[in-house]
Structure 1
Amino acid sequence: MPNIIKNLMPLCLMLSIPISNIIYCLLNNANRGTHSLVTDLDQSVPFLKIFILPYLLWYFFIFGTLSYFCFKNKRIYYRTLIAINLGLLISYAIYFFFQTNVPRPDLVGNDFLTMLIAFVYNNDQPYNAFPSIHVLLSFLMIKAINKYPGKNYYNVCTVYTIAILIILATQFIKQHVILDLLFSMVLGGLIFDLVFHINLERLGSWLRRQYQWLNVRKRSANGIDELKSPSKQLGVRY
């Protein structure tokens, strides 16, 4: 319990992900026109209902993996969370300027898996596809576990297995096309490497110095204004 309380504030930073999802919802439409990235290869990808299960597992996977890093290694946690939020913002910008659509199959049957897919289809319009946020964040989890100093056979296999199943699921339940998948992994790799190569401590120190310098200039400017004021010079009181 004390460990949970100690990490409560860092864990709350994960709320930035669902909060930014508001932007996703606002952009998830065809109001700005859409483009199709469907290729012949996409036409040959089968529709497999069973993959709705790992697709829905994504939510627990992302927050569970981030929580694990929060307790085990704060550096990995904070930088991965920064990479996630940066990736989300870039994705939203792309959705705004280059909206795509993904054709979906007609659902047949009333079995449990079909109902789950229908639930996803009804609550997530076939837009905001390039890049895939499911693929982007899952790939970032793979990058993070590779960077984690305490990685072992079990945590690596767990993260890799779930992440790969989720990435495949985006194809097999027809939520994304292949180009969405490929671009998401390239984008995720670039963002992750950028965030982990930046010296955040030095950047934070530089920003603090700039802030202090601006405060000094502001105080100096206020002091000069007071000296120039006629009332100050004449000792007039109001």
Structure 2
Amino acid sequence: MRLSDLWRPIRAEMKYLLWLPLYLLSFVILERLPISGYWATQTPWDQAIPFCEWFVIPYCLWYPLLVAVGLYLLARDREGFRRYMVFLSLTFFLSELIWFLIPNGQDLRPLVMPRDNLLTRWIAGLYAIDTNTNVFPSVHVVGSVGAAWAVWNCRRLRSRRALRWAVAVLAVLICLSTLFIKQHACLDVLSGLVLSLAVGLLVYHRNLYRAFRPLAAPD
């Protein structure tokens, strides 16, 4: 089989990635928009959650998780890849719309790190490149839920129970990590879960997904 024969079906799915540059561009613009004031999402519950730098590890595993799930689905389950892309694009853009309509942020980041080690320096670097605004809902949460949902929905992985549960546990750890490294407040996580559930039912429910079928390339 020629390389072009392998590339042709994958190339047909590339249109499902066209949303990503637009999302990243709009994210950068929103992060740099001047905000005179924002709704602070923290609650007394957040004050009871201790800062724990070890959670920066699962927090940063969010990036390879989303990419790995996407690449696997693109290679082995193109229908699953389409649903995954539709889920991520809808949740990410809806999150940006909420950020634009309701400027929000959280004031939970420690002014001085409680300890000085490699992990706390890592978190300080994250703070420097990612503002404390545009947090409600958390895209870390919706992305993690989307990756786990895609893996559990994948027909080829239905016999791989250990892998499916590992992804689910990692998704839970990523959601928790946003709280323990003070990147998000409880309301940010809760709103991300609600948004994920609403869009997930739309995308992964067979009948509702028919609305997106005209976009789908043939397998």
TM-score with structure 2 length normalisation?
A: 0.84
* 1:4-63: CA deviation from partner (whole Å, max 9, x where unpaired): 634652368446335412211211255253001211111101100011111111111101
Unmatched 5+ residue regions in structure 1? 206-238
Match of 2:7 among 5, 8, 11: 5
1:143/1:189 contact within 8 Å kept: no
Unmatched 5+ residue regions in structure 2? none
CA–CA separation in structure 1 for the residues paired with 2:105 and 2:198: 25
CA–CA separation in structure 1 for the residues paired with 2:151 and 2:16: 19
What is the RMSD computed on CA atoms of the aligned residues? Answer: 2.3
Which has the higher mean CA deviation after the structures are superposed, 98-107 or 14-23? 14-23
Measure how far apart 1:78 and its partner are. Answer: 0.4
Match of 2:60 among 56, 59, 66: 56
User: Which structure has more RCO (C-alpha within 8 Å, separation ≥ 6)?
Assistant: 2
1:32/1:96 contact within 8 Å kept: no
**Where does structure 1 differ by over 6 angstroms across 4 or more consecutive aligned residues?**
none
Partner SS state of residue 141, structure 1: helix
Residue type of the partner of 1:27?
L
Aligned-pair identity (%): 27
2:141/2:175 contact within 8 Å kept: yes
Match of 2:125 among 98, 110, 119: 119
2:16/2:86 contact within 8 Å kept: no
* 1:72-117: CA deviation from partner (whole Å, max 9, x where unpaired): 2111110110111111111111001111111111233442111110
CA–CA separation in structure 1 for the residues paired with 2:195 and 2:212: 24
**CA 1:114 to 1:51, structure 2 compared with 1: closer, same or farther past 3 Å?**
same
Residue type of the partner of 2:121?
M
CA–CA separation in structure 1 for the residues paired with 2:43 and 2:116: 30
The answer to whether structure 1 residue 146 and structure 2 residue 148 are counterparts is no
Residue of structure 2 in register with 1:106 after alignment: 111
* Structure number with bigger Rg: 1
Map 1:121-136; keep pairs closer than 5 Å.
121-136=127-142
Residue of structure 2 in register with 1:159 after alignment: 167
The number of residues matched between the two structures is: 205
2:10/2:74 contact within 8 Å kept: no
1:102/1:126 contact within 8 Å kept: yes
Residue type of the partner of 2:25?
I
Partner SS state of residue 199, structure 1: helix
